[in-house]
Structure 1
Amino acid sequence: LRGQVLKVLHEGHLGLHRLREAAKSAVWWPGIDRDLVAITQTCIPCNQHAPRKPDGVSRQERPDPAAPWDRVHMDLFELEGQQFLVIIDAFSNWIHVEHMPSATATNVINCLKALMSTFGLFGAVVSDNGPPFNSTQFKEYLSSRGVQFLPAAPYNPQSNGRAEAAVHQAKQGLRKVACDFPNLSWKDRLLHFMATQHAAPS
């Protein structure tokens, strides 16, 4: 039974810290911490896609916001020829990843419309100043909704460190899901990744 519980807890490949937090709120037995460490260390997807150690570059981060959705960070990334948009709430670290047909301003705006219809208007959006975020269409949409646009510092991608970290988290998570479920479609891989992310403590 313990093996089955460990398998369920570890299904999202969340890393040891978040695995411990998830276990703490659900189960306990003598030696559970040793078992959590063991399942993490022996997991092939976790070892294949382990995060790299920080390179020592300091991140020029903005101060923490006072409430959820006061400020979100966003970025686009590509994985195995597929385009994705990642958005992370700077207050809660709640992450959203959207599979994009293409990286256009229209598609990014449609994603923002859906999120803001659910969670309310964002106070500010931080992104790099490349396409499609530097487009007039994108900036005018944010302005029309009263959302402040905060472009990251040019030539310094670290100034949008939260989005960079979220991109890394999403890429690693999706690769791990692909290792566990190689026959899943991208849509189902993404749904699985999002479900495990939102079920675990952030």
Structure 2
Amino acid sequence: MKSMGRSYFWWPSIDSDIERTAKCCTLCLESRPEPQQCILTKWPKSLHVFERIHLDYLGPINIKMFLIIIDSYSKWPEVFEVDNADTFNTLEKLKETFARFGLPETIVSDNGTPFTSNEFSQFCETNGIKHLTSPPFHPASNGAAENAV
């Protein structure tokens, strides 16, 4: 569009003017091609309970946050009410869960600060847990936890 416009006209800010017009043009927005959807691949099927868990936070609801833990094998949800979605509360609730069910092999979470802090990484490394994060702005990659939210 810009090259066609430049072939007929020219002024110092023609590129930015064309971009601004195209962003506001209803016809241009309706006829532009949709961004290509990425192909989703499924997580490998878990072979036993707590092999892989998915984590996410829900909230705030009435000033409370809820840590959602989903076991990928049984689809069993564990939900904990916490005051703040921070690393300390996350690790405390994970320790409580792991005391009942054992350590998982893999944790899948989004890129939220409770899950990407040094303390969380150290906790996973110390306990031999592989931590995977879903890509930013693609919550479907952590579908098990996102569906619960």
Common fold: TM-score over 0.5: yes
RMSD across aligned positions (CA): 1.6
Match in the other structure for 1:62 = 43
Aligned residue pairs, count:
111
Provide the TM-score with structure 2 as the length reference.
Answer: 0.70
Match in the other structure for 2:58 = 77
Shifted more, 151-160 versus 90-99: the winner is: 151-160
The reply to whether residue 116 of structure 1 matches residue 116 of structure 2 is no
Contact 2:63 2:83 in 1 (8 A): no
Match in the other structure for 1:16 = none
Choose from 126, 131, 136 the match for 1:149.
131
The reply to whether residue 126 of structure 1 matches residue 108 of structure 2 is yes
Return 5+ residue gaps in structure 1 as ranges.
Answer: 1-56, 168-202
Distance (Å, rounded) in 2 between the aligned partners of 1:92 and 1:128: 21
Distance (Å, rounded) in 2 between the aligned partners of 1:158 and 1:93: 16
The reply to whether residue 90 of structure 1 matches residue 72 of structure 2 is yes
More strand by share: 2
Letter in 1 for 2:138: N
> Sequence identity, in percent?
35
Pick closer, same or farther for the CA change 1:60–1:128 going to 2, 3 Å: farther
More helix by share: 1
Deviation at 1:59, TM superposition (A): 5.1
Q: Pick 1 or 2: higher relative contact order, CA cutoff 8 A, min separation 6.
A: 1
Deviation at 1:153, TM superposition (A): 1.8
Larger radius of gyration: 2
**1:72 is paired with a residue of what secondary structure?**
strand
Letter in 2 for 1:63: P
Distance (Å, rounded) in 2 between the aligned partners of 1:59 and 1:160: 11
Distance (Å, rounded) in 2 between the aligned partners of 1:58 and 1:137: 33
